[in-house]
Structures are given as C-alpha cells and as structure tokens.
Structure 1
C-alpha cells in the first residue's frame, strides 16, 4: 500500500494536469452559445432513435410534429435531471473540501469543477427556457430524496455517484453529436461544450476510485459495489415518466408501458452504461446485487 504522502502527491499530479487542461479548453455558455438563433421547425431535439418510444406502435401512430415535440420534452427531461445531479455533486464537493487543504492542487481542481458544473446548470436552464417547455422538477418526496443524496455522497461513494451521474449522460450526448444533421444546432453546440468539459470530471472521478478502492475495508467495498445499482431504477423511472408523454397528448400509462418494454430503448440504455460497466468490472466494483439491478432495468 502506498504511503499517504505518495497518494496525496499522485492525487495532486492528476489534479494539476486537469487544471492545465481546463485552462486551455473551457467555455462560457452565456457567450459561447447563440441563444437568439432561431430553432429549425423540422429538426429534432434528440435523434429520433434515442426516443424512448422509437420503434413502438405508439411511435408509428404519431405525426412527424408530435415526434419532434416528444424529442423536445425528452431533451428537457434529460437536462432537468442533469441540473439535479450537478446540484447534488456541487453540494458534496463543497462539504468534502472542509477536510482538504485549501492550497492543494486537488482542491483547486475541485473548485474549477464546481465552476464548470455551475455553468452547466445555467446552460441547461437557459436551453430548457429557449426550447419553450417547462423543466421536470422534483416535488414532495422526490425533492426530499434529491436534497438528502449529497449527505450520502462522501469519499469513494462520491466518485462512484459522479460516474453514475456523468458517464451514462456522456455516452448519450456523444450519440447526439453523431447525428448532426437531424438535431437542432443549439442542441449540438450545447452537447459539444458539455462533453468537452465533462471528460475532465469523469477522469478525476475515475482516478479517485482507482486511488481509493484498494484501501477500503472489505465490508465498505461490498457496500459500494452494490449500492450504485440503485441508480438503474432511478434512471429508468425518470427516463420514462408518465408526465413526459402526457405533454404531447399521449396516454401516459400506455406510453410508459410501451417505452419500458421497448427493446430498441433497452439497447440505448445498454449503450449508455457500457463504458461505465466495463470500468466498474475492471475496478472490481460490480457487485452481484448491483449487477442484477442494472440488468433488471435493461442497462446490462
């Protein structure tokens, strides 16, 4: 086991490298996105193949405009979830900093990431407003759960939560970038900015896991290896919320049923989780309970 001083040096070296990357390539969404540019009437807000209903009987019955409207609300749903998560991540990072040196490179990088995430929340909020729909915002018990999560995200659990929250969205965003012709230019630009900056965040979280996992007690490691499976049910539930379909005039219950049974949609979920699943396997953090939960919810 490396000495604490060696671990600290390694952490600071990684942080310094990422700080240099942030200095070379960061964005200011307020000025780096043309928020006044008109939206194209015939372009989707997500590639149609990414819709939860793509290929279902309901999809075949929908008009072209209804499909575009569904993609508009599904994008707003993704962005709303992104705001929730980045809010939780920032709270957790800030709480953890009270135990860190304010002069270390790792603290400097975490502060840089906080700034990135704050700009991302602003960018997502402006995008939702620009496309002309209401955000999907947590209420009641759901809101209390979102507010409680930052208290659970500590140490290695924070890094795993960061990857569960970031890597699945990152893979889906890269899929959006592959379909430049059918997607609104505003969405394409937004995804390009987020993918570029999120790559640093993912690298920092992966490094944190690699660094910490070997020093964990076996019981703690078992818990971490299985607790992240809860993310699978949360993702599926929020990706296929009934209100999403009701907004475009569909029967919410029937649309939800078809989406959750949609093999094409299951393929998109598996695609989104593939890179993270491989990393968790390599880090020996894919426990049997988590594996069953990801598989039951169609991510494996």
Structure 2
C-alpha cells in the first residue's frame, strides 16, 4: 500500500485501499481454477438442462407447452451457451476499460493490484465460458454486428462511473440467474460448477464496481451525471438484448421465427428479468443514475 508520506492522496484513498486489501485477501482465500475445478472430461449428459427451465426465453409460452422434454433441454443448453458467449464479449470490454482506468496509476497501490486481480479473474472466466459453451455443443454465439460496434465505441470512450456502473449492470444481471442455475439439480453438473465459480468470484467484482461508481460520482457534476446515466442505460439495453442469440432456436431444432415471436412477447421472462434487477435499480437510484431518459432504456430492456 502506498504510504501517505510518499505522495499526496485524496481523502478517499485510505478507505479505498482498505477495501481493496480486503478484496485481495478474499481472493487469496477463495478463488478457483476452472481448469481443475470443472469436470471437462465427462461427456455431456443430454438428460440435463443448461439453465433452470424457468429462465428459458420460451418458458410459459404456448410453444414451450408443445415442446418435448428433450427439446426443452436442448433449448436451455443452447441458451446457456449464448449467455456464456455474451459474457465473454462483455468481459473483454470490461478488461479494456479497467486497464485503461489504471494505466498510469501506482501499481503498488492495493486498488490497482485488485484491478489487475479482477482482470485475471475475467480472463479465466472467459476461457471457462468458452470451454463450457463448446461442451454444450453450441457454436460461438456472437452479438449482432451493431452491438459489437457499439461495444467497441463504448469501451473506447467510457470512463469513471460510466465504465464501472456498466460493469455492475452486466454482472448483476448474470448473478441472479446464475445463483438459480447453480442450485438447480436439473442443470447439467459442469454448468452448475461454472455458475458457482462465477457467482463467488463476481461478488468481489460487484463490490469493487459499486465502490468505484460511488467514488467517481462524488466528483461528477450534474451534466456529466445525467449524460452518463443515459450511457449506462444504453449499455444495459445492448447487453441484455444480446444475451440470447436468435440462432439458439434453430440450433435446438425449433422454428426460429415462431420462437422469436413468442419469446419477445413472453411476459414471464420479462418478469424474471425485472425481479433479477430490483437490487441493481435500487443502487442506481440511490446514486442518482436512474434519470427519466435512462428509465426509457431500462423499460425497453424489461429491467424495470
């Protein structure tokens, strides 16, 4: 930890360093190596789902009622792989934003060392998700080209609370659904292990993202806060609408066009998404980021 006598510090620095040191200690005590923790060798058992069925985009629709159990399981496995692929895409954006934030900072500070630890975690998570998707017999699902280019722009221009609150949005949405999946014995065991690893390690990342969002907002003016509130909301919309690729339906042997129509109108899934984001919306409201223009995008994404 940098000494207060070696360089000037802001009033928030000691508290920031203490929080970062606790996160580093937690990481040292409780981290996983997916290469050894996940059972990569046992062949895929197609008698299992890839996600909790209730989280499927078609659950509760007339089409879902027509599907056989085998078709439902095939669909949730493809959906799980699509969520994992989207996770990889955003984790790559996340890593670049965090690296840019700490680029010229003191590497002996605990906060910078925690940021590097988080980046290392995300690298391992991306490999874990990629191997998991492959084992689920899914292709490399990629977001729509527009989403990819928006992500390229966002990771280049986002800074401060815009970067860290967007990181929090992606992590919070995944966290709630993965907590359900990791406890669900209907989900294929290796996916449950992947979800457990991600939930445990991302809990530290979310704590850091909340703290960094608050810290950056403490010196943000009214205009910057309002602009960033919309930027965060747009990023949330792009992330959430990219989670399940339309090709999952055809790859599960379903009628893609019909599945898309029923998924878009599925009130059950919209309700699940809103419930999963209640804590996130409370946080954004508490720090003044839930403005009226931002609410438009959160409602479009069915997060509120």
For normalisation by structure 1, the TM-score amounts to 0.94
Which stretch shows the higher mean deviation, 145-154 or 234-243?
234-243
Once the two structures are TM-superposed, the CA of residue 38 in structure 1 deviates from its matched residue by 3.2
Once the two structures are TM-superposed, the CA of residue 238 in structure 1 deviates from its matched residue by 2.0
Aligned 8 A contact 1:176 1:188 in 2: yes
Aligned 8 A contact 2:46 2:74 in 1: no
Q: Does 1:11 align with 2:16?
A: yes
How much is the aligned-residue C-alpha RMSD, in angstroms?
1.7
Q: Does 1:214 align with 2:218?
A: yes
Q: Does 1:20 align with 2:25?
A: yes
Aligned 8 A contact 2:48 2:187 in 1: yes
Q: Does 1:143 align with 2:135?
A: no
Q: How many residues align?
A: 297
What is the distance in 1 between the residues matched to 2:226 and 2:9?
Answer: 23
Q: Does 1:67 align with 2:79?
A: no
Secondary structure at the aligned position of 1:228 is classed as helix
What is the distance in 2 between the residues matched to 1:229 and 1:161?
Answer: 8
Aligned 8 A contact 2:32 2:197 in 1: yes
What is the distance in 1 between the residues matched to 2:277 and 2:82?
Answer: 18
Unaligned runs of at least 5 residues, structure 1: none
Once the two structures are TM-superposed, the CA of residue 285 in structure 1 deviates from its matched residue by 1.4
Q: Does 1:293 align with 2:300?
A: no
Once the two structures are TM-superposed, the CA of residue 138 in structure 1 deviates from its matched residue by 4.1
CA deviations 1:97-142 (Å, max 9, x no partner) are 2231121111110110011000000100111111211120246444
Q: Does 1:104 align with 2:109?
A: yes
Aligned 8 A contact 2:170 2:239 in 1: no
Q: Which residue of 1 aligns with 2:286?
A: 282
Aligned 8 A contact 1:240 1:260 in 2: no
What is the distance in 1 between the residues matched to 2:97 and 2:151?
Answer: 12
Aligned 8 A contact 1:171 1:271 in 2: no
Q: Which residue of 1 aligns with 2:34?
A: 29
Once the two structures are TM-superposed, the CA of residue 210 in structure 1 deviates from its matched residue by 1.8
Secondary structure at the aligned position of 1:216 is classed as coil
Aligned 8 A contact 2:143 2:242 in 1: no
CA deviations 1:244-266 (Å, max 9, x no partner) are 21222323222112111111101
Unaligned runs of at least 5 residues, structure 2: 1-7
Instruction: Choose which of 177, 195, 201 in structure 1 pairs with 2:199.
Output: 195
Secondary structure at the aligned position of 2:290 is classed as coil
Aligned 8 A contact 1:240 1:259 in 2: no
Q: Which residue of 1 aligns with 2:46?
A: 41
Aligned 8 A contact 1:153 1:161 in 2: no
Q: Does 1:165 align with 2:202?
A: no
Q: 1:275 to 1:144 in 2, by over 3 A?
A: same
What is the distance in 2 between the residues matched to 1:223 and 1:70?
Answer: 39
What is the distance in 2 between the residues matched to 1:199 and 1:233?
Answer: 22
For normalisation by structure 2, the TM-score amounts to 0.92
